[in-house]
Amino acid sequence: MDLYSGYINRLIAELSVLPGIGQKTAQRLAFYMINMPKESVEKLAGAMVEARNKVKYCKCCFTLTDDEICPICSNSKRDHKQIMVVENTRDLHAYEKTGRYEGVYHVLHGAINPSMGIGPNDIRLKELIERLEHDVDEVIIATNSSIEGETTAMYISKLIKPTGIRVTRIASGVPVGGELEYIDEVTLSRALDARVEL
């Protein structure tokens, strides 16, 4: 017998595919939505579809943005000779919140992970190398301090070092195994200050 309602079951199933949303949470969210004002549900649904369809990748650093070129890349006050390489837009956001970094970014959208079949060509690495043809002084590697992040850092370092461009890695003030986006601003700032040559 179909408990509840087919509509609610379908909604619970759809919500369960989201990361960190189990069956119980999906149920709770579904029932909450049923009791929300009609307009609020439509606004939420609209925001999802609109964000999915309209957000672009910055043509320069590949962060997610509404424009062709993101506000950071198009800001002439930022130091375009210093590029911080991060795994994703959330990590960029984490460093922006420190207010300590004045260079630009490069968002890889992933990290090298051989066991998952993710190689150097599956992240935005080629695009980083292309950017180095312009005038770049330093590449700061700020991938996560996970195995994948460290692997990616080593890979990028070996690739760039022959060009003579300075390659640094944010200091291991970042707890080993930690995810960059959850770390407090002070620790992130210290890790930037204590960055070391690779």
> For residues 171 and 194, is the Cβ–Cβ distance under 8 A?
yes
Q: Which is nearer to its own copies, 50 or 79 (CB)?
A: 50
Stretch that binds its own copies, among 3-11, 99-107, 125-133, 188-196 (CB under 8 A): 3-11
Stretch that binds its own copies, among 40-48, 99-107, 125-133, 156-164 (CB under 8 A): 40-48
Rounded to 10 deg, the angle between the 89-98 and 185-193 helix axes is: 90
What is the distance between the alpha carbons of residues 138 and 91, in angstroms, rounded to a whole number? Answer: 19
Which are the contacts of 5, defined by CB distance < 8 A and separation ≥ 6?
Answer: none
Site residues (CB under 8 A) for its own copies, limited to 68-97: 71-72, 75, 88-90, 93, 96
Q: How far is the CB of 38 from its own copies (least distance, A)?
A: 6
Q: How far is the CB of 67 from its own copies (least distance, A)?
A: 8
What is the distance between the alpha carbons of residues 194 and 198, in angstroms, rounded to a whole number? Answer: 13
Q: For the stretch 102-130, what's the b/e string if a residue is b when 16 or more beta carbons lie within 10 angstroms of its beta carbon?
A: ebbbbbbbbbbbeeeeeeeeebbbebbee
Residue choice 65, 82, 145, 168 for contact with its own copies (CB under 8 A): 65
Residue choice 43, 81, 134, 158 for contact with its own copies (CB under 8 A): 43
Q: Quick check: helix, strand or coil at residue 27? A: helix
What is the distance between the alpha carbons of residues 41 and 51, in angstroms, rounded to a whole number? Answer: 15
Stretch that binds its own copies, among 38-46, 79-87, 137-145, 146-154 (CB under 8 A): 38-46
Q: Is residue 33 at the binding interface for its own copies, with CB under 8 A as the rule?
A: yes
What is the distance between the alpha carbons of residues 181 and 94, in angstroms, rounded to a whole number? Answer: 6
Site residues (CB under 8 A) for its own copies, limited to 143-182: 181-182
What is the distance between the alpha carbons of residues 14 and 17, in angstroms, rounded to a whole number? Answer: 6
Single-letter code of the amino acid located at 193? D
Q: Is residue 102 at the binding interface for its own copies, with CB under 8 A as the rule?
A: no
Residue choice 10, 59, 81, 134 for contact with its own copies (CB under 8 A): 10
What is the distance between the alpha carbons of residues 92 and 143, in angstroms, rounded to a whole number? Answer: 10
Q: Is residue 118 at the binding interface for its own copies, with CB under 8 A as the rule?
A: no
Interface positions with its own copies (CB under 8 A): 1-8, 10-11, 13-15, 17-21, 24-25, 27-34, 36, 38, 40-55, 63-66, 71-72, 75, 88-90, 93, 96, 181-182
